[in-house]
Amino acid sequence: MDDTYISVSEMAKLHGLSRQSLIHYDNIGLFKPRKTNEKGYRFYSKHQIPYLREICFLRSMGVGLEAIVTHFQERCPAKEIQLLHLQKQVINSQIAKLVKVREYLNQRVEIYEEAIDGEETQMHEPFIRFMHSRQALFTKWIQPINKENLHITLMSLWQKIFATEMIASAGLGSIVRLKAIKGKDWFEDAGSCIFLPRQELYEITGVIQIPSGDYACMYKYGMPYDVAYLEQLMKWIYDNGYELCGDIIDACLLDTTFYNRKNGVDFCMLQAPVRKK
């Protein structure tokens, strides 16, 4: 192969790069032209093509320019293997994060699918559903309980979530305590919760375990402090030969961001753990 020169534009086109990329590579000392004429035009030798090809390969693998510059100063097969192993670790870490993000997306989709299914069924008609165990971050409601204080209560939980790498994709809601229900003081020690996306040990204060089992469920448009829906569900439980055996969950499926002219309250599913009498 003779040593005729290639312009910066031609060399860039051969490798699917922009002219600006090659100029940048020159400026950082990664891939310099064989010569520059009196007008400042850069020219490369055809013998430089394999070097740029390798740079393009490493870039396509996600290796950073700074690492490539260092690598090419003392490049050898052993050091190339080391560089590629390091990049594989980076990619494995990225894959793990993306798998988590995909799980978070699926959880949020499931919530909205539940909402669509719920709106298409008979509203306020309870039914029994088995539910797997869950974890939630819980705190008592700020008093007096109203929409504004619900938002503030939830934000106190969100602040704990923000301090971690967790994404709160599994939804939010409220919890009404069994002891309070039995004492007819419905909302004593009641509060808001954020359902945690994974079953694992969290180093966060306020995490509670929600047990698996049969739950009497009911869709409703209403706020978690609306007693009428709780009373309706409790009556159905009693009339159908069940008894309440734990705290009632009010899982929010569509919150204030979905309000419209028809509905100006949350769309939720009451979930009451029950057993046969």
- Residue 1: the pLDDT is 37
Last residue of a domain, one of 19, 42, 75: 75
Last residue of a domain, one of 38, 59, 75: 75
Distance from C-alpha of 3 to C-alpha of 123, rounded to nearest angstrom? 80
**CATH classification of the domain holding 192:** 3.20.80.10
Residue 3 has pLDDT above 70, yes or no: no
Same domain, 56 and 186: no
* 0.85 exceeded by pTM: no
Maximum alpha-carbon separation in the chain: 96
Task: Identify the CA nearest to 234 among candidates 242, 226, 223.
Answer: 242
How many independent structural domains does the chain possess? 2
Q: Which residue has the tokens 């390969």?
A: 57
Computed over every residue of the chain, the mean pLDDT equals 92
The answer to whether residue 93 sits within a structural domain is no
- Which residues are CB-neighbours of 67 under 8 A, at least 6 positions away? 83
- Residue 2: the pLDDT is 47
Same domain, 143 and 14: no
Reported as a single tens digit per residue, the pLDDT across 79-102 is: 999 999 999 999 999 999 999 889
- CA Rg, the chain, in Å? 30
What's the domain range around 60?
Answer: 5-75
Same domain, 129 and 255: yes
Percentage of the chain modeled with pLDDT above 90: 76
3-state DSSP call for residue 204? coil
Reported as a single tens digit per residue, the pLDDT across 60-84 is: 999 999 999 999 999 999 999 999 9
Reported as a single tens digit per residue, the pLDDT across 126-139 is: 999 999 999 999 99
Same domain, 220 and 124: yes
- Burial class (CB within 10 angstroms; exposed 0-12, middle 13-18, buried 19+) of 40: exposed
Contact 137, 160 (CB under 8 A): yes
Reported as a single tens digit per residue, the pLDDT across 165-195 is: 788 889 999 999 999 998 878 999 999 999 9
